[in-house]
Amino acid sequence: MSSYLEHPLLRPQTVEKRLFQLDLAATALKASSLIVVPTGLGKTIIALMVLLARLDKGKVLFLAPTKPLVEQHANFLQRVLKEEDMIAMMTGESAPERRAEAWKEARIVVSTPQVIENDLLSRRIDLKNVSLVIFDEAHRAVGNYAYVYIAERYAREAASPLVLGITASPGSQSEKIAEICTNLGIERIQTRTERDPDVAPFVHQREIEWVKVTVPEELLKIRARVEEVLQDRIDDLNRLGVSPARIDPRASKKELLALQAMLVTSAKRQPNPATFKGISVMAEIFKLHHAVELAETQGTDALASYFQRLQGEALSKSGSKASRRIMQDPRFGQAMDALQKTNVEYPKPAVVKKILQEQIKAKPDSRIMVFTNYRDTASALLKFLKEDQGIKAVRFVGQSSREDDQGLSQKKQAEILQKFRSGDFNVLIATSVGEEGIDIPATDLVLFYEPVPSEIRSIQRKGRTGRARAGRVVVLIAKGTRDEAYYWIADRKEKTMQKQMRGLSSQAQESLAKEFSARQMQITEVPEEPEGIASVFVDPREREMGKLLEAKGMEVTLKSLEVGDYVVSERVAIERKTAQDFAASIIDPQRNLFRQIADLSRTYAKPILILEGRDLYTRNISPSSIQGALASIAVDYGVPIIPTEDQDETAQVIALLAARERKEGREPKVHGHKTARTLKEQQEYLVSAIPSVGPAVARKLLRHFGSIERIMTASKEELRQVELVGPKIAERIRELVGEEYKG
To the nearest whole number, what is the mean pLDDT of the chain? Answer: 84
List, as one string, the DSSP characters of 6-64.
--TTBPTT-SB--HHHHHHHHHHTTS-EEEE--TTS-HHHHHHHHHHHHGGGSEEEEE-
| CB-side neighbour CA atoms (13 Å) of 618 | 23
Do residues 362 and 388 both lie within one domain?
Answer: yes
Please measure the distance between the N-terminal and C-terminal CA atoms of the chain and give it in whole angstroms.
Answer: 49
**Domain boundary pick from 341, 361, 377:** 341
pLDDT for the residue numbered 655: 93
Q: Confirm whether 718 is domain-assigned.
A: yes
- 463 and 570 share one domain: no
- Asked if residues 80 and 6 have their Cβ atoms less than 8 Å apart, the reply is no
State the Cα angle at 567 between 563 and 570, rounded to 5°. Answer: 100
Is residue 294 packed enough to be buried (19+ CB in 10 Å), middle (13-18) or exposed (0-12)? buried
Domain containing 30 — which CATH number? 3.40.50.300
How far is residue 384's CA from residue 349's CA, in Å, rounded to a whole number? 7
Give the domain-ending residue among 148, 176, 202: 202
Q: How far is CA 111 from CA 63, 67, 101, 339, 354, in A?
A: 5, 8, 14, 47, 41
Q: Which residues of the chain fall below pLDDT 70?
A: 1-2, 172, 200, 202-206, 317-319, 401-405, 434-442, 454-470, 494-495, 497-532, 587-591, 618-620, 674-677, 742-743
Q: Are residues 182 and 268 in the same domain?
A: no
Assign 3-class secondary structure to 219-239: HHHHHHHHHHHHHHHHHHHHH
When divided into structural domains, the chain yields a total of: 5
State how beta strands 33-36 and 163-167 pair.
Answer: parallel
pLDDT at res. 337? 92
Quickly list H helices, 452-481: 455-462
The set of residues, in sequence order, having a beta carbon less than 8 Å from that of 357 and lying 6+ positions away, is: 388, 390, 391
69 and 182 fall within a common domain: yes
Asked whether the beta carbons of 123 and 557 are under 8 A apart, the reply is yes
CA dist., res. 112 & res. 89, Å (int): 9
pLDDT attached to residue 525: 47
CATH number of the CATH domain containing 609? 3.40.50.10130
Percent of the chain whose pLDDT exceeds 90 = 33
Within this chain, do residues 548 and 657 fall inside the same structural domain, yes or no? yes
Q: What is the pLDDT of residue 571?
A: 94
> Which residues neighbour 281 within 8 Å (Cβ) at sequence distance 6 or greater?
233, 236, 237, 240
Does residue 566 share a domain with residue 434? no
Sheet holding 206-213, edge to edge: 206-213, 471-478, 445-448, 368-371, 427-430, 393-396
Specify whether 641 is located in the same domain as 686. no
Residues 160, 256 within the same domain? no
Burial class (CB in 10 A: 0-12, 13-18, 19+), 400: exposed
53 and 25 Cβ atoms separated by less than 8 Å: yes
Task: Specify the pTM.
Answer: 0.69
Residue 313 lies in a domain: yes
The CATH number of whichever domain residue 263 belongs to comes to 1.20.1320.20
**Confidence at residue 656, expressed as pLDDT on a 0 to 100 scale:** 93
Residue 444: its pLDDT value, please? 82
In this structure, the answer to whether residues 181 and 38 fall within a common structural domain is yes
Residues 131 and 272 in one domain: no
Q: Are residues 315 and 355 in the same domain?
A: no
Distances (CA, A) of 221 to 164, 215, 305, 336, 407: 52, 10, 18, 11, 33
Domain boundary among 153, 173, 202: 202
Q: Is residue 517 part of a domain?
A: no
Q: Nearest CA to 294 among 282, 283, 308?
A: 308
Domain membership of residue 616 as a residue range: 535-663
Instruction: Name the DSSP letter for residue 634.
Output: I
| Ramachandran assignment for 474, one of left (phi > 0), alpha (psi -120 to 50 degrees), beta (any other) | beta
327 and 373 both lie in a single domain: no
- pLDDT (0 to 100) of residue 530: 39
Helix (H) or strand (E) segment spanning residue 121 = helix 113-121
Q: Are 494 and 193 in contact (CB under 8 A)?
A: no
Does residue 397 fall inside a structural domain? yes
524 located within any domain: no
CA-wise closest residue to 197 among 28, 35, 3, 20: 20
Tell me if 487 is assigned to some domain: no
The H or E element containing residue 716 is helix 716-719
- Cα separation of 150 and 185, whole Å? 11
Q: Is 552 helix (H, G, I), strand (E, B) or coil?
A: coil
Dihedral in degrees, nearest 10, Cα atoms 131, 135, 141, 145: -90
Residue 7 resides in a domain: no
Q: How many CB atoms lie within 10 A of CB 245?
A: 8
501 lies in some domain? no
